[in-house]
Chains A and B, each alone.
Chain A
Amino acid sequence: MIPKPFTTPNLWLFRFAALTALFTFLLLGAGGLVTSHEAGMSVPDWPNSYGYNMFLFPPSKWIGGIFYEHTHRLWATLVGFMTTVLMVWLWRSDERAWVKKLGVAAFLGVVIQGVLGGLRVTLRMDDLGIFHGIVAQSFFVLTCALALFTSPFWFRLSQHPEKQGKLVAGGLRRHVAYVAGLIFLQLILGATMRHQHAGLSISDFPLAHGQLWPDTSPAAIARYNADRVDPDQLNPITAFQVILQMIHRIMALLIVLGVAAAAMLSLKRLGKGDYLTRLAFVWLGLILVQAGLGIMTVLSNKAADVATAHVLVGALVLAVGAVWFMVASVRREEAVECESGTLINPSPSVIGAE
């Protein structure tokens, strides 16, 4: 088979890559539900389920936490299969070596993610759950990137970046990169908080244990724990966890301000009609929703559906920031040389063509 050159993007490949990203997003939701329902260890064995082959485990036994954990495993298997197909498809039909490599990276990522999930169960290590959550977010961004790179839009963008609107200055791109980095750090904090299996370390908002900065003395922590009477009897909270949530709150405020600034800067520098400006405002909308979900997570005493929505929108926020940055990197000012006032195509290394 002769590989199709990127000059004619493969629409079906793009659609499949986009579907893989969508299914990965749903898988994030399924994984979020597992942790939100504290069901990560409800199926004690892996890769079998209660001694059954995973695919033959009778649905009549998918009760309680098993439902969340087992459907997560099945859905993960589907995403693993789709990622494998995507890798092979990219390898055979995309002429860009770096895209092929990204496809292989996605395949390795999904394998590592599956093994991490399995080891978290068999080794009974909560900390592995944190890495499992972080790799999940990273993998989702990677699948979104593959959908972007195989899209007709990316083809047009890489062919004629100067026709896509104003070029994007380094300052704005760096700002978005920093904010996206901050969001990633925030997701790591969030994953760490969720995998303490301690529920809410601070259960009020906007105050924290009734104060602007909560008392974290041993006596105060003992009092907080004595007052907790939830049926799920989660692990006792610690001063570390209380401080972790305070950092999470402060970071959230910084991120909201950072994304708002990104939107305003895009409007000012790129204009109202530019799709990057519109995307930046979508980003702002999502981050506001995310902040609202964070508050609701606290006020609802970490209701499983609200907490899971918080995870999902967090993943979307990260992906939108990453996509914005990737597109802006092609439209960057430095990528286009100006000769006698005429813009020429960016260098191949910039547009990612071989």
Chain B
Amino acid sequence: MVYMKKALVLSLMGGLALGIAAKAGNITGEITFQGTPPPNVEIIPLENDPVCGALHKDKPFTHFYEVGPNGGLGDVVVALQVTGKSTGASAPPAVLDQRGCIYLPGIMAIQTGQKLVVKNSDPCIHNVHTTSKNGNPEHNDAQMAGGPDLTYTFDKPEDFMKFQCDVHPWMFAWVTIEDSPYYCVTDTNGDFTIKDVPPGTYTITASHRKLGTQTLQVTVTDSDVKVNFPAFAIK
């Protein structure tokens, strides 16, 4: 009897949750850049490195400004300013790879409590050195060629936490840590979609590592909402 009651309650809760999920909406938009960005530069030290240079067929370049042909701006972290809603503990691990002596991806976002797996796909040593500005633990770990993956979790939200390899001083990744699952990183066209956002009014931010952060208010209903951020520019 007790089991039946529990099953009934769970079914009701599940139905309720589904109902809420059904009402969730998506937030979409496009981030743009106005003007001419500074050109990305060739990474000469990488080319000159006997091991790392051999891993690249094409000339490697920096990716500070990923601006598409229509002015879309990539590598912008768009996120709702929501705290305490992290599902990071149950989320699949995010992966940061060291390949060709470059961190891939260079810009990414994860949740608090989510596992971040750092791989070394290169035939050489790297050190994974994290630097926090918001009280997350700092790490500096050796990772030999073919060595096991390194796994990290971070408990505090932070914008663009730095990952670097001091063996290869051009290697950087910037990881934003959000306290909810409502975020994404713009693609190379500057497009973004934040999925399954419960109805409500939120503060939404668009953060570019070099260009700063823009903030807007957005109200989500049970349908998709389009957000129009002003274009980023170097003023």
CB within 8 Å of B: which residues of A?
37-45, 50-51, 61, 63-66, 69, 121, 124, 219, 222-223, 225-233
Residue B40 CB within 8 A of the other chain: yes
Distance in Å from the Cβ of B67 to the closest Cβ of chain A? 13
> Is B235 within 8 A of A41, CB to CB?
no
Residue B11 CB within 8 A of the other chain: no
Q: Report the separation of the CA atoms of residues A219 and B234 in the bound assembly, to the nearest whole angstrom.
A: 10
- Residues of B near A61 (CB, < 8 A) are 125
Q: Which residue of B lies closest to A220 (CB)?
A: B235
> Is A65 within 8 A of B140, CB to CB?
no
Residue B64 CB within 8 A of the other chain: yes
Q: Report the separation of the CA atoms of residues A230 and B43 in the bound assembly, to the nearest whole angstrom.
A: 9
Residue B127 CB within 8 A of the other chain: yes
> Is B51 within 8 A of A225, CB to CB?
no
> Is A223 within 8 A of B41, CB to CB?
no
- Residues of A near B167 (CB, < 8 A) are 39, 42, 63-66
User: CB < 8 Å: which of B49, B62, B210 contacts A64?
Assistant: B49
Residue B45 CB within 8 A of the other chain: yes
- Residues of A near B125 (CB, < 8 A) are 50, 61, 63, 66
> Is B140 within 8 A of A226, CB to CB?
no
> Is A226 within 8 A of B138, CB to CB?
no
> Is A231 within 8 A of B168, CB to CB?
no
> Is B166 within 8 A of A223, CB to CB?
no
Residue B14 CB within 8 A of the other chain: no
Please name 11 pairs of A and B residues whose Cβ atoms are closer than 8 Å in the assembled complex, sorted by A: A61-B125, A64-B49, A124-B129, A219-B235, A222-B235, A230-B62, A231-B41, A231-B44, A231-B45, A232-B170, A233-B170
- Residues of A near B168 (CB, < 8 A) are 64-65
CB within 8 Å of A: which residues of B?
38-41, 43-46, 49, 51, 62, 64-65, 124-125, 127, 129, 131, 138, 140-142, 144, 164-170, 172, 210-212, 234-235
Q: Report the separation of the CA atoms of residues A42 and B138 in the bound assembly, to the nearest whole angstrom.
A: 15
User: CB < 8 Å: which of A41, A65, A229 contacts B40?
Assistant: A229
- Residues of A near B210 (CB, < 8 A) are 225-226, 228
Q: Which residue of A lies closest to B101 (CB)?
A: A64
Q: Report the separation of the CA atoms of residues A64 and B169 in the bound assembly, to the nearest whole angstrom.
A: 8
Q: Report the separation of the CA atoms of residues A222 and B211 in the bound assembly, to the nearest whole angstrom.
A: 8
- Residues of B near A223 (CB, < 8 A) are 234-235
Q: Which residue of B lies closest to A64 (CB)?
A: B167
> Is B144 within 8 A of A39, CB to CB?
no
Distance in Å from the Cβ of B148 to the closest Cβ of chain A? 14
Distance in Å from the Cβ of A160 to the closest Cβ of chain B? 55
> Is B144 within 8 A of A63, CB to CB?
no
Q: Report the separation of the CA atoms of residues A124 and B235 in the bound assembly, to the nearest whole angstrom.
A: 35
Q: Report the separation of the CA atoms of residues A41 and B167 in the bound assembly, to the nearest whole angstrom.
A: 8
Q: Report the separation of the CA atoms of residues A44 and B166 in the bound assembly, to the nearest whole angstrom.
A: 9
Most buried by B among A64, A65, A225, A230: A64
> Is A65 within 8 A of B235, CB to CB?
no
- Residues of B near A50 (CB, < 8 A) are 125, 142, 144
Q: Report the separation of the CA atoms of residues A229 and B210 in the bound assembly, to the nearest whole angstrom.
A: 9
> Is B124 within 8 A of A231, CB to CB?
no
Q: Report the separation of the CA atoms of residues A107 and B205 in the bound assembly, to the nearest whole angstrom.
A: 56
Instruction: Known A-B contacts: A64-B169, A124-B140. Give 15 more (CB < 8 A).
Output: A38-B166, A42-B127, A44-B127, A50-B142, A63-B51, A63-B124, A65-B166, A121-B140, A124-B129, A124-B138, A226-B234, A229-B64, A231-B43, A231-B45, A233-B170
